[in-house]
Structure 1
């Protein structure tokens, strides 16, 4: 049996984390002492480790709660149900990665189009692109050749083919 501090130390988390999981219904002490201290069992330790592993691979608290409910009643669930949860999470992560890749490419194009010099920002290509209703960017860096300018503008135009949200 473990008190909250002992469990926290054993699993390398803060006691506030355990209280947070308790508040959200993911973890509850097996019992309490007469003075109100939380007491956790070895089963609670395994449950906490399950929660921490699920959190480490990106599951939300709601998703972890669903996984825990399956874990507690495995005989009434199919492996396909669990795989479905994982596949849904994977699709969500892939959509987020695609969105972040879009942001990265767009920001790279904006950055490459700007000279970044000490001149006034009155004609800054980044601000002009963000103010514009078109997707093309006029490069202000005089070190670029016309071919560079065209490839940057073309790449920015292509980057507006924004990935689907997958929701």
Structure 2
């Protein structure tokens, strides 16, 4: 199977497949005499594994670790669980950060009248010039 067929079978682009090979996530890909890549079912399985791990937000480094664990039939599932829990903690921290950004932006947006006047509490808060008190929230005052 050539790279375009492998891309179609896995939902990845040929560029991403080449990238995964270049960084060592996909190894041992066969080549034709002309140098074209040939993919077998195991390669496709590995590419799908990588794709699913990426869709869960695992980093390339974490995927490399997961691949090594997946290929090591003597590994302990505790190591895999620890890696998953670590990633889950990172996701929870990102969610908390995004929620805080959302709440701040929602508060700023609710304070702006959005009319024709030039004064804007959103821009005032973003500028946050030292020594200058930002305009208050007219709707909240």
TM-score (norm 1): 0.75
Runs (5+) with no aligned partner, structure 2: none
Instruction: Report the CA distance shift for 1:29/1:135 in structure 2 as closer, same or farther (over 3 A).
Output: farther
Higher relative contact order, structure no. (Cα contacts within 8 Å, ≥ 6 residues apart): 1
Kept in 2: contact 1:3–1:39 (CA 8 A) = yes
1:71 aligns with 2:70: yes
| Deviation beyond 3 Å, 4+ runs, structure 1 | 132-137
How do 1:108-147 residues align onto structure 2 when only pairs under 5 Å count? 108-121=106-119, 124-130=120-126, 131=128, 138-140=136-138, 144=139
How do 1:12-161 residues align onto structure 2 when only pairs under 5 Å count? 12-75=11-74, 77-121=75-119, 124-130=120-126, 131=128, 138-140=136-138, 144=139, 148-149=140-141
Q: Bigger radius of gyration, 1 or 2?
A: 1
Q: How far apart, CA to CA, are the structure 1 residues paired with 2:129 and 2:42? A: 59
SS of aligned partner of 2:114: coil
Instruction: Report the CA distance shift for 1:110/1:68 in structure 2 as closer, same or farther (over 3 A).
Output: same
Instruction: Report the CA distance shift for 1:23/1:46 in structure 2 as closer, same or farther (over 3 A).
Output: same
Q: How far apart, CA to CA, are the structure 2 residues paired with 1:102 and 1:136? A: 20
Instruction: Give the C-alpha shift of residue 6 in structure 1.
Output: 1.5
Instruction: Give the C-alpha shift of residue 135 in structure 1.
Output: 9.3
Runs (5+) with no aligned partner, structure 1: 150-167
Q: Name the count of aligned residue pairs.
A: 139
TM-score (norm 2): 0.88
Q: How far apart, CA to CA, are the structure 1 residues paired with 2:36 and 2:19? A: 16
